[in-house]
Structure 1
Amino acid sequence: MGRGWGLNWAMCVVKYFDFESAWGFVMKGGQLGRPLRPQQVAGWLSRGRRWMLPPTLGSDLGTRTTDELWVGLWWTWWASLQPKERAMLENKEPFQPEDADWSKMVGQYSDNGLLQVMATLLWWGEVVQKREAAEQDQWLAAVKDVMWVLDQLLESERIGR
């Protein structure tokens, strides 16, 4: 899983490991918000986070504007985890502000934190690698945005504290 998915995916994984490393790879960190979390994440957590049993995302992944399908659900959840300065633009892309309050998100390390986001990108990537370029592009946009957020968190004054 994940091999040969390109430089952006590889860099996102490296940045995620840098983030966890800054916290010392501890087992207990912050918990991500649950209210808008896709049901697939909850199911995966209840099955003990088994990597070899990824959830089904559905045959139609949808787009950012289809709130009831995977892509729309994912972006809604992801947006809910962001600081208020990262409001969604009209095209449902998150704004990338120069300054934002990352204090709540910077503590989302460990198995209850951003690992969940990385897991969703892994499942999604596994599905779209065999699909049309437009679906791969939607996944790649998510990977790039997660990577951008990880960069912001790694630059935060609160990292590792």
Structure 2
Amino acid sequence: MLPPSDAELRAQAQALGERLAAAREHVVTAESCTGGWIAKCLTDIAGSSSWFDCGMVVYSYEAKQAMLGVRPQTLEEHGAVSRETAIEMVSGALVHSGASVAVAVTGIAGPGGGSEDKPVGTVWIAWKRRGGYASAKVFQFGGDREAVRRQTVASALQGIGELLA
């Protein structure tokens, strides 16, 4: 899979923004491996203030705990790149925002940091609506650091769209 271009990400964010605005929904992002790229894509769209609530970039364990309420036990038992952490991140994003829809990403973009169990390109993405249940999916993206991050952004945006369907 080729990573999406800037134009493709912009088109995807534009379409998602239109859907969020029409549904009168607000979105929050909780990002680790993408470093705020999802929030940037969304807020690059003119008028995004009517449907974008906030974004949180949480790389360290401490930030995940303090800003999103991820439990220390979760991080110790499962690690930052796990289904459990992604679900606690997305749930915490809703608790700590005024948004109605949330996405959270945590992964290993590389080039280092991978392991046999969690190789570079492993990314967990979780989505949740306020009052609903979180869903999470693991991805194994290929390519360099930028390619992994671009694919993560595109998949996160796609999942928000599916959540709105």
TM-score by structure 1 length?
0.33
The structure with higher relative contact order (CA 8 Å, sep 6+) is 1
TM-score by structure 2 length?
0.32
* Higher fraction of strand: 2
